[in-house]
Structure 1
């Protein structure tokens, strides 16, 4: 009888004791993780407000130093900004690369903003807004770069990075406005666009360039002849016509596909462009 009564008392008091313990345990404190800063930049060139994302190296606020800037195309928060800024953060933490400001420029209509005009009727039918890369380049030159230079401590060293159609834009910018950036990184550039016309015209563009120093980094995975053939044309013209001031390289990545190549290629580009000087 006493045993049964004791069991009943324990059963009744256990929930109460649990509730008292729960009330005494403070709830976890939730704070946001701040990765970078996002700006809604009004653009006269684009006729709309555009998303610009910025990652600053740790210690930026107190260092007083100036920093190189890497501009990343397709740099929206739901695009490539986070994983490219993550590479910059890793290099800073482990000391393998120099500190760099990463600026992500979000894309809205990629074929409009990143592709040069095409005469291909099928492409025009599929992408009627295509072919405004010159306008997007003007946006970068006249609005994005001045905004970053006026707001942050920049060293004047700049680079442009992009993959796929953004890689096509990188190559076009290197060929047509080579002094706009100091370095260009084109990962799996879609040189097939408009039947590979940009690659075929690259020799003429290269012959017209000055000998100003600049760097071009090209890479391509195992992506079939449509991607490889125009890359071969481009690299052939670089061998024949690039000025001595141009430092360029092409790295085949046969174990990578169009879907897997970007992160590793971007890491390699960081290590080349932002190598820590030897002590």
Structure 2
């Protein structure tokens, strides 16, 4: 009983100083959100959120590619994709770009292709499909010109989306390939309309106009028509991809689900499409490296040369570690992240 009475007193005697209130806070700004009027989408408005790379304000002469993020509203996928873009400013593993997140309002309508019979889709999805063509018009005629008129873009554009938005990416590549330069389709809903965009992909590809384009395609552990439709698309790409279309398919089914795929594969897509060259430098003795010797004339020449994607040696980080002695100061384009199961450069 005495001990029980002494415990509160001991707590007072040995407690540290009382904690005060938190100091005044300040907001952490990840981007700027604009409310955009759109006549094409029946007079509605869309929130468009833009993140600029740090280089944008640092050099007024620079222009940047744009990545348009579907389902990119402030409460949707914008924040975590913008976070990946910000991580580049810490590790410089890919090129800087402008992120434009586009809010979806009724995504099951506005991002979905037309179907022969809407009834089963309306019952399952509680939305009438078929708004994708009009949504592409909104991107082409209203949003892209608005972004290009107000920001320093360089004319190279990408579109990315996941699930139903990933299907919009695939449909856009097949139906309107010149609308974007790069297409990032993450776990696209290839089951749509009994795998229409897998079954008919070869016919679409045969009609493609000339031009350079790139597709990054990935899927998780989805089965049924989702997986089969994706495999049909990969087969068409393997056999019928037109000249100028570079593509890769990353199968993440052993490691990711439909719900977990987007974030890690978005990072992988950015590294694959916009990876920047790097160099391997000699380690310091402090961490177990050799004694630093004076660089040779050949090594100095390597350091003075500019590294580009075209003149860099492609290799994985594992290979770079094993070959380190032979590649000091050379330009490397490290193949980070998972290895594509198939790609147009597989040979």
Q: State the TM-score, normalizing by the size of structure 1.
A: 0.88
Give the helix-richer structure, 1 or 2.
1
Deviation at 1:26, TM superposition (A): 9.0
Deviation at 1:29, TM superposition (A): 2.4
Matches within 5 A, 1:1-279: 28-46=23-41, 47-64=43-60, 65-120=62-117, 121-126=119-124, 127-254=126-253, 255-278=255-278, 279=307
1:93-138 Cα shifts (integer Å, max 9, x gaps): 2211111100001101111111101224311344342111000011
Question: Could you tell which deviates more after superposition, 261-270 or 224-233?
Answer: 224-233
Partners of 1:34 and 1:160 lie apart in 2 by 23
Partners of 1:39 and 1:128 lie apart in 2 by 27
Determine if contact 2:121/2:128 at 8 Å carries over to the other structure: no
Determine if contact 1:117/1:130 at 8 Å carries over to the other structure: yes
How many residue pairs get aligned? The number is 258
Q: Which runs of 5+ in 2 are unaligned?
A: 1-16, 279-306, 308-347
Q: Which runs of 5+ in 1 are unaligned?
A: 1-17
Q: State the TM-score, normalizing by the size of structure 2.
A: 0.71
Deviation at 1:200, TM superposition (A): 1.4
| Greater relative contact order, per chain length (Cα 8 Å cut-off, separation 6+) | 1
Partners of 2:243 and 2:127 lie apart in 1 by 40
Determine if contact 2:169/2:185 at 8 Å carries over to the other structure: yes
The aligned counterpart of 1:8 is none
